[in-house]
Amino acid sequence: MPATLPTTTPPAPTSKRGRPGYDQQSVLRIAVEVFNKHGYEATSMGILADTLGISKSAIYHHVPSKEELLRLALEEALGGLEEVLTLDGATSGTAVARLEYVLRGTIAVLVERLPFVTLLLRLRGNTAMEREAMARRRAFDRTITSLVSAAQQDCTLRADIDPGTVTRLLFGTINSIVEWYKPGGPLTAKKLADDVISMAFEGLHR
């Protein structure tokens, strides 16, 4: 699994306004929080500078543009999700075992990179960069659909539900986690994944 990202608490800005007081990763994390709060399009570099407590020129010391911040943020989310598909548990074993592994890995990435995945899920496709990210998301979903289909064919999953519908319902559940999950609370990422897998594969009947 991808390593847990650094803490969201940035180092304190330098006393002289306008000097770089953050590294690129901490600027990125705070920018993503602002994008999620106000929306990417509504967030100006001036708003970011005010939030960071530094000048706009200090931000440009780390990144050339707001668009580059978006690109870096989306790569944090998509790169983590796509990496799951390359791991041994996703590429070997039965189809249903691979499916469960990828779903668990997806939840782990979502929890570890919650602000980044939240931003990804809220894209509207208004720019070429956003549309490319959404295309990568759809490719990820197609991989899941193929695993569902393979598990249906080997009779380890019921076959009376369209595999595309299964994928949409699974990710409707998983993606909703960004709206309510609170990292650091009593519900751990592992227990969250266990609960999602239990509901998806076993249902709620006793």
Rounded CA-CA distance 8/201 in Å is: 34
Domains and CATH numbers, the chain: 73-202 (1.10.357.10)
Distance CA 201, CA 37 (A): 35
- Return the pLDDT at 21: 57
pLDDT of residue 204: 83
- Which stretches in the chain have pLDDT values below 50? 1-20
Q: Where are the beta strands (DSSP E) in 78-168?
A: none
Cβ contact 119:74 at 8 Å: yes
- pLDDT digit string (tens) for 75-119? 999 999 999 999 999 999 999 999 999 999 999 999 999 999 999
- What residues contact residue 77 under an 8 Å CB cut-off, 6+ apart? 109, 113, 116, 117, 119, 120
User: Encoding tokens for residue 162?
Assistant: 């369209």
